[in-house]
């Protein structure tokens, strides 16, 4: 249960917990990523849309790890669909980060954020083909998607060659998306959990607080551990060092009974 890595279907390994940088502005990203690296995170998750790639890359570079020791994920902006457009956006990302290759590159969403639900199937297929090329050229170690539902993934399976290696989705206690989890499992797609704390909204929940007390952990640790117990890869994020440290100390087990209770909870954000 306490394995260090998940393994993609192409045998590339990804550290079992990542440091998320969504909503961390470029000015704060350098310090936040440096703190994460200092405290043993070796997997950093960013995106062109977060507008912080430059300082994420600089922090990684200044920390003087060899490139192989660090796992970097970035994402193709949700509104960019198409073959050439994807190649261009990828170049922008590797230039911002100042790296030769990415460990994981994801389509950020199946539709633009200002037009959620729009059918962009053809655009996603063309973007995916560009990502397959980048993968085959050795510029990315693994490729995947984010915020994709079953039908969105199915379109890639039907029209493309490479099965996505990951799907990064909002996942937390109360938002389990069982059908999507089962589908990803069936196709050997690693599910990455973003917003494992429901963007902080679950931290004050009385049931979560009581259960965390029982395990002598914080609510955040219980919630992050829950992701691991559900076989998803948590991407907690914080700009505070004590929390960055705490969010990684999750080597305990949640009992079957408590897991069941957590799985029955309602989504606090609905
Ligand atoms: P901060 O950056 O001030 O630490 P999520 O990962 O679900 O999106 O949640 C992120 C939010 O949770 C951020 O507001 C972050 O605030 C807060 N947070 C992260 N880790 C902890 C923690 N261990 N304890 C309390 N709040 C946390």
pLDDT tens for residues 176-197? 999 999 999 999 999 999 999 9
The reply to whether 143 falls in a domain is yes
Tell me if residue 220 falls in helix, strand or coil. Answer: helix
Name the burial class of residue 241, with classes exposed (0-12), middle (13-18) and buried (19+) by CB atoms within 10 angstroms of its CB. middle
- Residue range of the domain that includes 150: 15-200+232-251
147: left (phi over 0), alpha (psi -120 to 50) or beta: left
**Calpha distance 226→25 (Å, rounded):** 28
**Residues near 267 by beta carbon (within 8 Å), at least 6 away in sequence:** 174, 175
The reply to whether 223 falls in a domain is no
Q: What is the pLDDT of residues 196-222, one digit of tens each?
A: 999 999 999 999 999 999 999 999 999
If you measure from the C-alpha of residue 197 to the centroid of ligand 1, how many angstroms do you get, rounded to a whole number? 7
The reply to whether 219 falls in a domain is no
**Calpha distance 174→45 (Å, rounded):** 23
The reply to whether 10 falls in a domain is no
Mutate to test the pocket of ligand 1, among 23, 240, 248 (most ligand atoms within 8 A of CB): 240
Mean pLDDT of the chain: 96
If you measure from the C-alpha of residue 269 to the centroid of ligand 1, how many angstroms do you get, rounded to a whole number? 15
Tell me if residue 81 falls in helix, strand or coil. Answer: coil
Q: Which residues pair with 14 in a beta bridge?
A: 6
The reply to whether 32 falls in a domain is yes
Residues 150 and 159: beta-carbon distance below 8 Å: no
If you measure from the C-alpha of residue 137 to the centroid of ligand 1, how many angstroms do you get, rounded to a whole number? 37
Is residue 41 flagged as an active site residue? no
Averaged pLDDT, 247-251: 96
Averaged pLDDT, 66-91: 98
**Calpha distance 18→32 (Å, rounded):** 13
Q: What is the pLDDT of residues 56-67, one digit of tens each?
A: 999 999 998 999
The reply to whether 33 falls in a domain is yes
**Calpha distance 100→138 (Å, rounded):** 10
Averaged pLDDT, 149-167: 98
| Residue 72's CATH number | 3.20.20.100
Residue with the smallest CA separation from ligand 1 atom 2 is: 238
DSSP string, 221-268: HHHHHHHHHTT-EEE---SSHHHHHHTT-------HHHHHHHHT---T
Averaged pLDDT, 48-53: 98
Beta strands 190-194 and 102-107: pairing type? unpaired
Q: What is the pLDDT of residues 93-151, one digit of tens each?
A: 999 999 999 999 999 999 999 999 999 999 999 999 999 999 999 999 999 999 999 99
Q: Give me the catalytic one of 41, 50, 172, 226.
A: 50
Given a cut of 80, whether residue 2 has pLDDT beyond it is no
The reply to whether 22 falls in a domain is yes
Q: What percent of the chain has pLDDT over 90?
A: 97
| Domain tally, the chain | 1
The reply to whether 257 falls in a domain is no
Q: What percent of the chain has pLDDT over 70?
A: 99
pLDDT computed for residue 1 by the predictor: 43
């Amino acid at each position: 249960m306490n394995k260090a890595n998940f393994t993609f279907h192409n045998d590339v390994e990804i550290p079992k917990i990542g440091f998320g940088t969504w909503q961390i502005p470029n000015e704060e990203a350098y310090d936040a990523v440096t703190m994460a690296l200092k405290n043993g995170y070796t997997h950093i998750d960013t995106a062109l849309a977060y507008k912080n790639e430059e300082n994420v890359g600089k922090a990684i570079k200044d920390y003087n790890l060899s490139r192989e020791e660090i796992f970097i994920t970035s994402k193709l902006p949700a509104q960019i669909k198409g073959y050439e457009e994807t190649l261009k956006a990828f170049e922008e990302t590797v230039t911002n980060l100042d790296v030769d290759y990415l460990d994981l590159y994801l389509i950020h969403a199946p539709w633009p954020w200002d037009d959620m639900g729009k059918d962009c199937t053809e655009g996603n297929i063309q973007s995916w083909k560009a990502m397959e090329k980048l993968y085959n050229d050795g510029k990315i170690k693994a490729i995947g998607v984010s915020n994709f539902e079953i039908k969105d993934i199915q379109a890639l399976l039907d029209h493309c060659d490479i099965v996505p290696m990951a799907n990064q989705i909002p996942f937390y206690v109360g938002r389990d998306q069982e059908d999507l989890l089962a589908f990803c499992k069936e196709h050997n797609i690693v599910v990455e959990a973003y917003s494992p704390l429901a963007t902080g909204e679950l931290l004050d929940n009385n049931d979560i607080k009581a259960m965390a007390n029982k395990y002598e952990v914080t609510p955040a640790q219980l919630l992050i551990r829950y992701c691991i117990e559900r076989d998803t890869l948590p991407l907690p994020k914080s700009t505070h060092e004590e929390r960055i440290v705490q969010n990684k100390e999750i080597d305990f087990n949640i009992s079957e009974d408590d897991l069941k209770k957590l799985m029955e909870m309602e989504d606090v954000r609905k």
